[in-house]
Every structure is written in structure tokens, then in C-alpha cells.
Amino acid sequence: MQIHVVRPGDTLFDIARLYSLPTNILIQSNEIPNPDNLAIGQTIVIPIWGSYHIVMVGEDLTQIANTYNTTVSEIVRINGLKSPNAIYPGFRLYIPQKERLSVDVGAYIDPRMTVGTSGKVVDKVGDNLTSLSVFSYEANANGSLTPVVDEPSINAAYNHGVVPLMVITNFSEGTFSTELASTIFNNPSLQDKLLDEAIAIMDQKGYLGLDFDFEYLGAQNREGYNSFLRKASEKLKAKHYFISAALAPKTSDEQIGVLYEGHDYKTIGEIVDFIFFMTYEWGWSGGPPMAVSPIDKVRDVLEYAVSVVPKEKVMMGIPLYGYDWTLPYVQGGPFAESISPQQAIERAAQNGVTIQYDTVSEAPHYFYTDRQGKRHAVWFEDARSIQAKFNLVKELGIRGFFYWVLGNDFPQNWLLIQDNFIVNKRV
């Protein structure tokens, strides 16, 4: 497929004519929220197999073939050209579909965020998923688990050949608890109780794997967590279940901070089947405006990860959301609003602002002034930023990628998965 970036004066009719497609196909495939009022800088994915290249002044077929990693003879053949010189500025060339790689694609869903619609949310994108992590069963200090309403998500996962993963967290009273983790890791009987209860639930409800999202562990829980995961692996492998872990984004084993010190990439990589590396939240709701998942930061984390964890166990995290900050940003002030990529596009169009693109972080952003005269900064994901992340997945040769969190509309993302990859199915 092809990514078109809206330029001044562009209309959907003009874009559709450029690519020889009906306008309604562009609207439907992208679920364009603002068809009559496009924002400059907005991306539109052109739903064709392959792509078009408009010849620029001074270009020849050799340059174009090198750009797309193909050959002059293939471009001549596929376009029915009489000779390689039969092109001119403005000439439209069709570029064949590139080879697609097979990858795992995961996603988290929090039924508390999709009350009454979890099944429909999974149904909408399930064909593009390998696994679905249902967030979350919360561990308690007595070794029991607080459940979540998960049946609709599990049933929908099976309808699309998706592996349902049960998520356990050290989440307590609205936050991740270091103290709770310490209580569990220092008590073998509590660990056995928690794991036995989890496996009983998995047996009953049809989960096929257990995903541990234990965060803010601190250095004091590093070895305890490793030992806990070894015990969990032994119990789960006896039942032929998957085991995975979600880990904070680190760039070295010596990284300081309670979020990082308890996560031992190398050892955990030896224990579990795969790891969800949470490569997002550099830009976060309580911090200053910036890209949520800047590609340069993501690269740093994954290059370290693949140096200590087998590539076939590495899953890159991608956010399905952005943030709208009210300016000026004040530390400790009001948190930014979480918005979907579709909402970000709508706000840009409604306020008549141009969507800019930062080439270092590979992320779109813009500023606008609301009706109360307050200035805002918005960072989000679009087709360009997603394609940059997909390119990194291919470059590093890792297992695949996953999303936090389903329920945010981002149609272009799923179109680009189909264009770039063949999604593995393991059910």
C-alpha cells in the first residue's frame, strides 16, 4: 500500500483520481473522520497491492528501481513500457508489492476500558492478531487473584484464531505496588497459591498462556522475580501453556530506577517464551509534550534487547494512542488527555492546523488554540510513524510487535499490517 500525505489544496477527489480509486474506497478503508475538511499533513493509506511512484524531474529508472529495491527490467515489465526511457516528470509508475514477512502480532485489551464492547473490539481487528493479552488479574497479598470480565474477549479471540493470554499484575489500589511484589516473591507458599489459582482459571476459561506484567519491582525484587518466573514456567510447561512477561524499556542492565532494576532482560529471556518490551510512554500524560514512542528511543531499547535476548522472543511495543497537552506544561499540573489517532486528526481539521512530522522521533504532532484561548500540543501516531516502526521490526528480525491498548480507533495501522506482514496464527 502507499501513504499519501495531504498537501495544501488537496481534496479527496483529487487524491482518489491520482491513484485511480473511487473516493468512497479511501474513506471506508481509512475510516476518514473528516472527508470534507482534510488537515494538511494528514496521512491517507492508499489500499492497493504495491504502490505508485510519480516520476520527478531528473529521475531515471535506475534511481527509482534502487529506491524500491527492485530492478529496471521488472519496472519496465510490470508497467508495459516500451523502453526504460519512456518516462517523464509526472509519469505514474506502478511498483510491485514487496515481500511480506511472517510475524507475531499481539495486543492488550482492558475490559474495564471497553465495557460491553470487548468482543466487538476484538472482532474488528482479530484477523490481524496472533495473541490477545487480557489485562488484568490483580494479585493480592494473600495469593488470590482479583478477576476481570474476560469471557467476551476470550470468545472473540478464538473466533479469529487468536491465542488468549491471561495477564497477572502487581496492581493494587490503582498503581503498581513494589510492596505487594515483595510479599509474593518472599513467600513460596503464596507463589504456589497464586500460580495454582491462575492455572485453574486458565483451564476453566480457555486461556492458552500466562503473561506477567509485574512493574516497579525495584532492585530488591530482581532475583525474587527471576525465581518466581522459573517456578511459573515449570508449572505452565507441564500444561503446555505459553509464558511471557512485559518488561520496562531499558538500554542497559545497569539502568537506575525502581521501574527498571527489577527486570533482568537476559535471565527472563532464558525463562519465558517471549517478552513484550513496553517501548512507549516516553511522552506520557504527566510529563512534558513529546512523542509517545519515538523511534530513536525504541531502537535503543531493542538493540540492547536483542543483544541479550534471542530475537525470536522479542516483541516491540506500539501505542494505539496519543496525548493532548494543555500548555504551558507545569510539572505536577493537570495530566494530558489520552486520545486516539482518529481523534487527533479530527482536532487538527476542526482547528485548521497543519500536522507536522518530526523526522527524528518519526512522529506527527501539532499545536492548536481551543475556544477558551488555551494553547495545546498534540503528539500521536499515524501511517508514517507506524511504517517506521514496522521497518525497524524487519531490520532487527525480531519475533514481532504488540499494541497497548485495543479500543482506540486507528484503521490505518491495520491496513499497514496487511501490507507489510503475514500474521502468524497459533490456534
Q: Which residues are catalytic?
A: 215
Q: Which cell goes with 170?
A: 502487581
Backbone angles phi, psi at 243, to 5 degrees: -130, 135
Residue with cell 505452565: 236
Q: What is the DSSP string of 328-339?
A: SP-TTSPPPEEE
Report d(CA 410, CA 123) in Å as an integer: 15
Backbone angles phi, psi at 362, to 5 degrees: 55, 60
Query: E strands within 190-329?
Result: 209-213, 242-247, 274-277, 314-319, 322-326
Nearest to 105 by CA among 303, 408, 407, 399: 399
Cis peptide before 293 (omega within 30 of 0): no
- Which residue stretches of 117-221 are H helix? 118-125, 151-159, 178-185, 188-205
Nearest to 379 by CA among 319, 302, 296, 299: 319
Report d(CA 276, CA 289) in Å as an integer: 25
Residue 92 neighbours by CB under 8 Å, 6+ apart:
18, 52, 53, 54, 55
Report d(CA 181, CA 194) in Å as an integer: 12
CB 71 within 8 A of CB 98: no
Tell me how crowded residue 173 is: count the other CB atoms within 10 A of its CB.
7
Nearest to 363 by CA among 337, 387, 328: 387
In angstroms, how far is the first alpha carbon of the chain from the final one? 28
